[in-house]
Structure 1
Amino acid sequence: MKFIIKSISKNSGRLGHLRIKESSELQTPLLLQTTKGGSIPYLSADVFGLVSREQQVLQLTLCTMDQMAESLDQWNRSLGDYVGYPDYNTLLLLRDPCEVTPSGGNDRDVVPLFTRRGKESLTAERYMQLVTSFAPDVYQGLCDADTNPESTKKRVQKSVDRTERFMQHCFKQHRELERLKDSTLLAPIVGGYNTFARTQSIKHAREQPKGTYGGYIFEGFHTNGIAATSLNPSQLLPIVDHCVQQIEDELPRLMPGAFTPVLMLELIRLGVDIFDTSYAYCAAVNYKALTFSYCIDKEEHSAFLDVTDEAIKEQFTPLLEGCNCLACQKHTRAYIHHLYKTNELLGPILLMIHNLHHYMGFFDVIRDSISADQLPALLDYVRHQNMSTDINYCIEPNNKTVGKAAMGKGFITAAN
């Protein structure tokens, strides 16, 4: 993996070009496509091709794909080809950023992996065996990231010490395993909300020989799922800034999680390069269409449209006026509300089409704003949407009741 910085601005973050293996150059800030079981949620590869024709990077998660390891051992083509996206690069994470990760189960020598079949205790050796089976283009190192703003100093220190032990094995195996010779390792930076612990984690990574890893992944700030949408920026941003100041500029930085658009812009301004689409998914599965504006105008805009709202049942207008996604061009608010009422699978499909299209357009505007050194103006606009107060972008859990006959179909009750 090769990363080239195109420009750096004191107020607007940085632009870069990322090349993974033989792919075309990807522009940063980059948006990864979050998947479940190797698939973009609710969308087939053909349908996603209607959302975007540009080359994407798939963010795969071991907790939703571990059962595929045995068959992947026998697979002699790329991981992207295996999941039906042969032209896409792949990045393998341990945890699913779309779902809350249960706490507990960590020990001196193991990290819990919560799968559909239950909990598996991963040692560093077992983890690298699984990664070798997958042979992704990029993957994260094993870490204890079970920390959040409430974690004690003792718990945070344990996460750093355990991660250091795990990574000693991961660094060594990465250099030796033939099947991973073309893969890039991301060094995890852990330590909760403690600057001293974060410094320790960074120091251990930077002690490794040059070229051992190709970037950083910042972990341990939240427990994934919609918990990431309610993080306190005044707590998070100083810690991220502290980390960014201590790592080299020439390596990309990834932060997985469903961060709000405002917090994401703040993180980009600090120098974080790579994010994912878990926020778009979390909104869709909780009945919300993204309707915030990122094209500065004089109208007031809301963060979401709740498709369960009875007020829209006779609104024969698009989810978002001016949006040219397939959902907005072909269907109306009233129709999508009807799909919710009848528990039709097409409902979440249309919401995912719209939310992904909207979020990818947002990132196009972000890159243009950085290029023009106008990110602060975009941040202020997204934060207020021309209203007198800050817009609330937190995603509330879906508490709608769905009958047993409808379970497994269409809109479902999201996990809290």
Structure 2
Amino acid sequence: MKFVIDSITKNSGRLGQLHIKDGAPEQRTPLLMQTTKGGSIPYLSGDVFESHVTRKQQVLQLTLSTIDQMTEALAQWNSAERGLSDYVGFPGHLNVLLLRDPCEMTPAGGNDRDIQPLFTRRGKESLSPQRYMEMVASLRPDIYQGLCDADTNELSAKKRVQKSVDRTEKFMHYIYEHKSKVDSALLAPIVGGYNTFARTQSIKHAREQPSGSYGGYIFEGFHTNGLTATTLDASKLLPIVEHCVGQLEEDKPRMVPGAYTPLTTLELIGLGMDLFDTSYAYCAAVNFKALTFTFVPDDVVHIPFLDITDDANKEDFTPLLKSCDCLTCRKHTRAYVHHLYKTNELLGPILLMVHNLHHYMSFFAAIRESIARDGLPQLTELVRRQNGDSQVDYGIAPNSKVINKATMGKGFAAAAV
């Protein structure tokens, strides 16, 4: 894996080119990775995604907590010329393997000196560094993160934070020693909660490794995934990230997984972060929200998202977003999507995911254009206020209006479980 910076500015972050493997096209950063669950983009088949969202090659974000059951089959799969993306139905796409699902809240606890808990669909599994590297060797991802203890957040005690750093260092000693057995790029985990000393200690351990030991960084331990990332206090997060970035070399990409809000994402990019994911788009869709925030200057006051459960949409025959050219907005109306919600049809979350992914990918294209002209501060201010007088709230609250026993397992009802 190689990372080349095209431009870097004090106020607008940086543009770069990420070359993940030979024969694959370079990816422009800031990069938006496609979050998957069980190897699939939620609610969308590979054909639907490539036909109605984008035909461009993507980087899939796969999580061990949702695909761990595939390791045995992949170990026996004669795949000399095919990889993990082919196995999950996205041939030709690149992939990154993470430990935890950024779409769902990760349970706290279960930590042990020598193992890392992995919360899967079948329950909690115990993951030792040896077992982890065996699974990575079977899955053969293009990029994988180092094993780490990321069970921290803003409220974590100093003792818990220090344990996360110490255990991560212990895990990574084994990973660094045995990484040559895996032909994949490694992301060094940076942990330490909201403690600058602990974060510095984690960075120091990574940078002490021989040259070429890892290809980039992944920042963990700021939240417990799911909706918790949409409501974290950016005023406490950003100083920690800025402190860490100042200690990192420029020629390695930096990933921050999780459903960070569009505003927090822009502020992280301004500090020099490079790799993000679409879990925010999923968290919005699964809670019946269509993304409607604007990133194109105009004179209209916008709202961050549209709640399609609102009865005001019952007879509204306009698109989810008038300026959007996705399949959902071109072919369907707010009234129709609201009807799908009322009748618990599976097409409802499908149409919302098509729209939210299209909108969020367009947002990242606008981010790269803004950085190129050193205009990220102006874009950030637009997203912050949406042409209004006060800062808008991008936090996502759980929406459980549909849940009832009669409709459990259907369409939107299943999405809210």
> Shared fold by TM > 0.5?
yes
- Write the distance in 1 (CA, Å) between the matches of 2:296 and 2:177: 47
- Write the distance in 2 (CA, Å) between the matches of 1:405 and 1:136: 41
Q: The residue matched to 2:170 in structure 1 has which SS?
A: helix
* Letter matched to residue 61 of structure 1: T
Query: Which TM-score applies when normalising by structure 1?
Result: 0.98
Offset, 1:97: 0.2
- Write the distance in 2 (CA, Å) between the matches of 1:23 and 1:216: 21
* Letter matched to residue 54 of structure 1: K
1:59-79, Cα deviation, whole Å (9 max, x unpaired): 000000001110010121210
How does 1:255-404 map onto structure 2 within 5 Å?
Answer: 255-404=256-405
Offset, 1:322: 1.6
Q: The residue matched to 2:163 in structure 1 has which SS?
A: helix
- In the other structure, the counterpart of 1:70 is 72
Q: Given the superposition, is the C-alpha separation of residues 415 and 44 from structure 1 closer, same or farther in structure 2, using an over 3 Å criterion?
A: closer
Of 100, 104, 123, 1:99 maps to 104
Contact preservation (8 Å) 1:302, 1:385: yes
- Write the distance in 1 (CA, Å) between the matches of 2:105 and 2:395: 15
How does 1:10-29 map onto structure 2 within 5 Å?
Answer: 10-21=10-21, 22-29=23-30
Offset, 1:412: 2.5
Runs of 4+, deviation exceeding 3 Å? 413-416
* Letter matched to residue 70 of structure 2: M
Offset, 1:404: 2.0
* Letter matched to residue 153 of structure 1: K
Contact preservation (8 Å) 1:397, 1:414: no
- In the other structure, the counterpart of 2:171 is 166
Percent sequence identity is 68
Matched, 1:152 2:157: yes
Matched, 1:7 2:7: yes
Offset, 1:99: 0.2
Structure 2 runs not aligned, ≥5 long: none
Of 54, 57, 78, 2:56 maps to 54
- Write the distance in 1 (CA, Å) between the matches of 2:402 and 2:319: 26
Q: The residue matched to 1:203 in structure 2 has which SS?
A: helix
Offset, 1:290: 0.1
Of 106, 115, 121, 1:116 maps to 121
1:269-312, Cα deviation, whole Å (9 max, x unpaired): 00000000000000000000000000011100000100000001
* Letter matched to residue 237 of structure 1: L
* Letter matched to residue 7 of structure 2: S
Q: Given the superposition, is the C-alpha separation of residues 153 and 130 from structure 1 closer, same or farther in structure 2, using an over 3 Å criterion?
A: same
Query: Which TM-score applies when normalising by structure 2?
Result: 0.98
Structure 1 runs not aligned, ≥5 long: none
Matched, 1:89 2:90: no
* Letter matched to residue 146 of structure 2: G
- Write the distance in 1 (CA, Å) between the matches of 2:314 and 2:175: 54
Contact preservation (8 Å) 1:257, 1:275: yes
1:90-112, Cα deviation, whole Å (9 max, x unpaired): 10000000000000001111111
Contact preservation (8 Å) 1:313, 1:337: yes
- Write the distance in 2 (CA, Å) between the matches of 1:38 and 1:339: 26
- Write the distance in 2 (CA, Å) between the matches of 1:413 and 1:236: 33
1:177-229, Cα deviation, whole Å (9 max, x unpaired): 1xx22x10000000000000001000000111111100000000000001000
Of 130, 136, 143, 1:131 maps to 136
- In the other structure, the counterpart of 1:236 is 237
Contact preservation (8 Å) 1:189, 1:218: yes
Deviates more, 1:122-131 or 1:356-365: 122-131
Offset, 1:53: 1.0
What is the aligned length?
A: 412
- Write the distance in 1 (CA, Å) between the matches of 2:393 and 2:254: 27
* Letter matched to residue 268 of structure 2: L
1:44-87, Cα deviation, whole Å (9 max, x unpaired): 01110120111100000000000111001012121010011111
Contact preservation (8 Å) 2:30, 2:368: yes
Q: The residue matched to 1:246 in structure 2 has which SS?
A: coil
Contact preservation (8 Å) 2:287, 2:416: no
Contact preservation (8 Å) 1:218, 1:254: yes
